[in-house]
Structure 1
Amino acid sequence: MRLPGRLSAAIAVLSDVETRKRPVSEALKAWGINNRFAGAGDRAAIGNLVYDALRHRASHAAIMGDDSPRALVMAVAVRDWGQDPAVLNDLFANDSHAPETLSADEVSRLVTTLAHDAPGHVQADVPEWLLPSLQRAFADDWIAEGQAMAGRPSLDLRTNTLKSQRERVLKSLARFSAVETAISPVGVTMPAGSGDARTPNVTTDEGYLKGWFEVQDQGSQIVSILAGAVPGEQVLDLCAGAGGKTLALAAAMGNKGQIFAYDSDRNRLAPIYDRLKRNGARNVQVRAPLPDALDDLIGKMDRVVIDAPCTGTGTWRRRPDTKWKLTPELLAQRVQEQSAILADAQRYLKPGGTLIYITCSILPEENDDQIAAFCAAHPDFTMVDPKALWQAAFASAAPAGVVTAGSGIALTPRLTKTDGFYLAALKRGA
């Protein structure tokens, strides 16, 4: 496919997303099934157009005076990908699969810049109703944080130290120009490309099939390390999901001790079995979601890790469609769920045990506020000093800005070049 056809396809996919209210990934998959002539490069380019349109939806719509799929895709082509409007019109005029030629008004808008006095939420490309939360979380840096969250993410991998070393993984993936991550000592990263660049398919690599590495954002690796699990401990991973952090904990513990992996949703938990086998993780016991599945663990755990259900605002770079679907009602629902999980989780800790609370959110309602409420209700818990926690985990001082007002740790694309994550560690009194 040539560029005009790719632009038309991206417009069609975005229209499908809007009219049928389904995730972008599903719409892209359906388009690919219905258009099997499209090659891998075409599908990657179309996906990039769609995701970039959603990442910058507010600012592009403001410039175009229109938030239609056509306006957003054309803004991506010109403003993000550097296409010349005049060249595009020449291409459109000679391609039967092209969109309609650009109007004089569209051309004029495409070559203008966003007004310096544009509303902050437009500059940041975030929903307007979230301004109070983002301002509370990031103060004067909230627009810069939003802009960083509207960028493309890197592809990060975690070396599985149960089976390999980072140097071996780097050699295995040398053809992708893989490099070491800046913070995680076991991470490997491939920076995001621009335009129609394809993301490497590392899951077909020999190293992946042999369990040498897992796909895991560096931010997720960092909070897994900060969780502090050590060999010989009894650890409950209460919201294990597909097992990404469970596997990281197993490697950190060197297969010594015991991890109990549990999730209330069988479907989320299902992939963990194959992943455990591929990774060679032998100290993990998966507990199926039954009413009494964890009763025998009450009061016995050295460490309880909660990877809490959340709004996923920290993953906006990867799932920009969710940025515009988030509602105050959904946020309130997640906050209620998190509070209930925290109250339940503390029951499993023994005296002197540590509770680790993690979200992939950047909102204080799900992070510092949640921890403050828990501590008020459970005075036998005290916060672990976040600076000391970071120093112990990485033998270096915490990067500027990551320690929150509520003594948690917040990672963001701007601060740590990772997805958005939050972690707080609380110790139960002896």
Structure 2
Amino acid sequence: MARSPHIDGTAQRAAQILSRAKPGQRIDTLLRETFAHQRRLAPAEKTAIAGALFATARWHRWLDPKAALPVRVAAAMHLQARFEADPTSVKPEALAALALPDWVRDEVDLSPADLIALQTPPPLWIRTRAAYTKRIKRFLTAVTPAPAPANRTGLLYSGDKDLFRTEPFHQGHLEIQDLGSQLVGHACVPQPGETWWDTCAGEGGKTLHLAELLEGKGLIWATDRHTGRLQKLKQRASRAKVFNYRSTTWDGGAKLPTKTLFDGILIDAPCSGIGTWRRNPHARWTTTLTDVQELAVVQRQLLEHALPALKPGGRLIYAVCTLAKSETTAIADAFTAAHPELQPLALLNRGPQVTLSLSEWNANGMFLAGWTRPTAS
């Protein structure tokens, strides 16, 4: 177990915040609630406190559970700083054994590089509207273009501006969107004039990206089971000046929200989120194998229920931000076997099933699979 002999003010404040957390509460939610009432904290103080809380979640299994909370937080901060300075300071076998819950070993294959990425703070990716990319690069300066195919509008930001307070964000010229999510849009390859369905649109990140790729021509149906998320989508679309979409609720059942047949259907399904555990390390210790198994049932149902809305020649894309075999290859293999009438579809020039690893893309881990319904001969 790791300990730190020095407990500074950041560790004390972070421990106080953590002591008020509700069972299972996300760290980002806890921080939002806290900072809303502590407006005098400087941006640097907020960043340090957030870093301490996330480090405590990452190094959870290295910490002495009997130690006082400030001691555990300080120990985690020490481990995090040492690891970022020298990843070899923690043995690979220790990372493999302790960075994740035990049940994950049978579900997820992570390389040593993935495990190192998992224990480091996540990058900040943004997506620009293509017409404003050059202007945003000049404005932010501390940006690096994403690798292809996201290199035109995807940027890695390493500066210290609060992007949510910048003019380009308020004008709808940029979105905060992880590169893994951006690659989902590029894998869909929507063509101007097509009609697409984003079945599990949530707050609309991928809907807005599809609209950008459609160049404002064509139509997107955005559905979700939660009206609150769709209301957030409406606000984001208004800010981004995206109007070629319709939104309505859909519970994922066999009754479809429209009789429209689609050129493309994106099923960005609810999942265990293992691919986001670099960004949400607290979720490692609340997600269970039972969650994975229950979500796999939902994912298969979504594919089956959405399929009738696919046009001949249309493209069906399945995406999840998880790396669990039960939610990725097992789902894709079973769906392929059940539907020999569909043809597997190559995605991102890699094949019909693509795993985006944390280390290769410096982004959330994702899994993609694709099929097309052949046109009548």
Tell me, in whole angstroms, the C-alpha distance in 2 between the residues paired with 1:204 and 1:226. 31
Gaps of 5+ in 2: 1-6
Q: Distance between the aligned counterparts of 2:312 and 2:68, measured in 1?
A: 57
Structure 2 CA distance for partners of 1:31 and 1:284, relative to 1, 3 Å: closer
The 3-state SS of whatever aligns with 2:189 is: coil
C-alpha displacement of 1:29: 3.5
Residue correspondence of structure 1 range 31-430 to structure 2 within 5 A: 31-32=34-35, 35-58=38-61, 60-61=62-63, 69-81=69-81, 114=90, 118=94, 120-122=96-98, 125-135=99-109, 138=110, 141=111, 143-161=112-130, 164-174=131-141, 177-183=142-148, 184-185=150-151, 186-191=153-158, 200-289=161-250, 294-297=257-260, 300-385=261-346, 389-391=347-349, 407-430=352-375
- Structure 2: how far apart are the matches of 1:226 and 1:119? 32
Amino acid in the other structure paired with 2:115: G
Tell me the amino acid that sits aligned with residue 296 of structure 1.
Answer: K
Matched residue SS, 2:370: strand
Report how far residue 370 of structure 1 moved: 0.5
Contact 2:263 2:314 in 1 (8 A): yes
Q: CA RMSD in A?
A: 2.6
Identical aligned pairs, as a percentage?
A: 27
Aligned CA distance change for structure 1 residues 16 and 375 (closer, same or farther; 3 Å) = same
Give the C-alpha shift of residue 41 in structure 1.
Answer: 2.3
> CA 1:207–1:38 in 2, change beyond 3 Å: closer, same or farther?
closer
Q: 1:168 is matched by which residue type in structure 2?
A: R
Aligned 8 A contact 2:164 2:170 in 1? yes
Gaps of 5+ in 1: 84-111, 193-198, 392-397
- The answer as to whether partners of 1:126 and 1:146 remain within 8 angstroms in 2 is no
Counterparts of 1:202 and 1:33, CA distance in 2: 18
How far apart, in 2, do the equivalents of 1:72 and 1:149 lie? 20
Displacement of 1:36 after TM fit? 5.0
Q: 1:423 offset after TM fit, Å? A: 1.1
Amino acid at match of 1:78: H
Q: Quote the residue 1:95 is aligned against.
A: none
- Structure 1 residue 115 displacement after superposition: 5.9
Aligned residue number for residue 3 of structure 2: none
| Distance change (3 Å), C-alpha of 1:117 and 1:249 | closer
Query: What is the CA–CA distance in structure 1 between the aligned matches of 2:103 and 2:68, rounded to whole Å?
Result: 21
Query: Conserved in 2, the CA contact under 8 Å of 1:308 and 1:338?
Result: yes
TM-score normalised by length of structure 1: 0.77
Shift of 1:316: 0.9
Q: Distance in 1 between matches of 2:90 and 2:222?
A: 48
Q: Secondary structure at the match of 1:296?
A: coil
Q: Output the amino acid matched with 2:122.
A: P
What is the one-letter code of the residue matched to 1:390?
L
| 1:64-118 Cα deviation digits (max 9, x unpaired) | 58676334322233232359xxxxxxxxxxxxxxxxxxxxxxxxxxxx9656764
Rg: which structure is higher?
1
1:182-212 deviation digits (Å, cap 9, x = unpaired) = 33121111148xxxxxx53111111111111
Contact 1:243 1:275 in 2 (8 A): yes
